[in-house]
């Protein structure tokens, strides 16, 4: 019988090495810790990795979503379609701009929205569609684009999906849409906090880069490196304080280089879980052990009749850090939604997430799986 784990295995512990420590130390010793040369280098390397023209870093994926909707003209009276099975930031970014999030249902197999579910929600007021690559499984944005009216842009919430590939094999981020990434503490590429918007249009990227820094045309690093440049007083629009820093970017540059190794470990963990859960009646998200899946989450649908909260608490008491992703947004009072989304509501009651991180060893994953299987059995 699997015993109490010697340490708590959380669902998404970051994986930092001495390389990241050295990179941060280098920046601290440089005397410049704000937005500067490391940010510029990271943006260039990230854009190259994803095969896009531009990457604009910001302080969070929430800010990335907000700024993306802002530059697309989302505002009061508009509707923004998004799934309900997601983190609140996906919908909140629309609310910040005075728009209304309109929630759509998802697939019971992929946990992603479907083309049909999105199209059912389109109205003359639809200003944008935000799709979510749930757990790291890429949604087919090309298929949606073929059905969606040309006037409606697609924004991709790819907070889970760095390293995932669309159907056809191209990396998530390379679509040409405004694609929003997260570098939060538990993400596949972690810099503690932060995010980015990757895109192909240079003019839009320039506007995003200005908006993240109070809409000034010159940032602090440009003023520092070119002493003839002065702070412009010619503000033309309202900007925000949403910039990234060199401390974060130094972490990001190392994490980007380490992605192949980190992804391999996530695949190892997913295979261990798949093997252990094969005869339990639990249904993992589709394609979890396919190379195109980023495996940010290892999410499963529990069998009927399982007391999910009791199971979660029992596993946690043995240091196996299960959790839930996510409570459906359309059922929360904040959103005042009258939508009825049967698959989302079913999944909202049955989903459970096992710990998934490249910092987990295969031995720890085997122990987590053993604890889960034992606690799942009827008592």
Residues with a catalytic annotation lie at 187
Cα 175 to Cα 152: distance, rounded to the nearest angstrom:
15
Distances (CA, A) of 196 to 68, 117, 353: 10, 27, 25
Rounded to 5 degrees, what are φ and ψ at 4?
Answer: -60, 130
Alpha helices in the chain, H assignment, sequence order: 18-30, 37-50, 61-71, 89-96, 115-119, 141-147, 202-211, 220-225, 246-257, 259-277, 308-317, 342-350, 362-376
| CA 10 to the chain's CA centroid | 18
Backbone angles phi, psi at 194, to 5 degrees: 125, 170
State the Rg of the chain over Cα: 21
The answer to whether the beta carbons of residues 90 and 65 sit under 8 Å apart is yes
- For residue 26, the cross-strand partners are none
3-class secondary structure, 158: coil
Contacts of 205 (CB under 8 A, 6+ apart): 53, 54, 55, 56, 197, 199
124 SS3 class: coil
CA distance 40 to 304: 50
Quick check: helix, strand or coil at residue 231?
A: coil
Which candidate, 103, 130, 135, 118, places its Cα nearest to that of 301?
A: 135
């Amino acid at each position: 019988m699997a015993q109490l784990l010697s340490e708590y295995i959380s669902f998404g512990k970051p994986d930092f090495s001495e390389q990241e420590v050295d990179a941060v130390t280098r920046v601290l010793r440089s005397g410049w810790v704000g937005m500067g040369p490391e940010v510029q280098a990271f943006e260039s390397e990230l854009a190259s990795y994803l095969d896009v023209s531009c990457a604009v870093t910001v302080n969070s994926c929430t800010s990335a979503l907000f700024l993306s909707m802002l530059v697309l003209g989302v505002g009061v009276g508009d509707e923004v379609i998004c799934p309900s099975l997601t983190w609140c930031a996906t919908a909140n970014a629309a609310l910040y701009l005075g728009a209304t999030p309109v929630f759509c249902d998802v697939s019971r197999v992929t946990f992603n929205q479907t083309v049909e579910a999105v199209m059912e929600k389109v109205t003359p007021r639809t200003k944008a569609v935000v799709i979510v690559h749930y757990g790291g499984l890429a949604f087919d944005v090309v298929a949606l684009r073929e059905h969606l009216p040309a006037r409606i842009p697609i924004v991709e919430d790819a907070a889970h999906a760095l390293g995932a590939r669309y159907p056809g094999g191209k990396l998530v981020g390379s679509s040409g849409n405004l694609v929003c990434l997260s570098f939060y503490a538990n993400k596949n590429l972690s810099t503690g906090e932060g995010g980015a918007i990757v895109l192909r249009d240079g003019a839009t990227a320039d506007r995003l880069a200005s908006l993240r820094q109070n809409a000034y045309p010159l940032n602090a690093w440009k003023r520092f490196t070119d002493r003839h440049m002065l702070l412009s007083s010619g503000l033309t629009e309202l900007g925000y304080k949403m910039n990234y820093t060199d401390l974060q970017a130094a972490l990001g540059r190392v994490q980007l280089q380490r992605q192949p190794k980190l992804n391999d470990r996530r695949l190892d963990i997913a295979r261990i879980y798949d093997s252990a859960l094969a005869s339990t009646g639990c249904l993992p998200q589709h394609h979890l052990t396919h190379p195109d899946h980023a495996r940010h989450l290892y999410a499963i649908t529990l069998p009927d009749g399982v007391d999910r909260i009791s199971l979660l608490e029992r596993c946690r008491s043995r240091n196996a850090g299960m959790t839930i992703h996510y409570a459906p947004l359309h059922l929360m009072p904040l959103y005042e939604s009258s939508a009825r989304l049967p698959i989302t509501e079913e999944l909202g009651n049955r989903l459970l997430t096992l710990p998934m991180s490249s910092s987990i060893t295969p031995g720890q994953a085997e122990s987590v799986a053993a604890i889960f299987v034992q606690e799942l059995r009827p008592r």
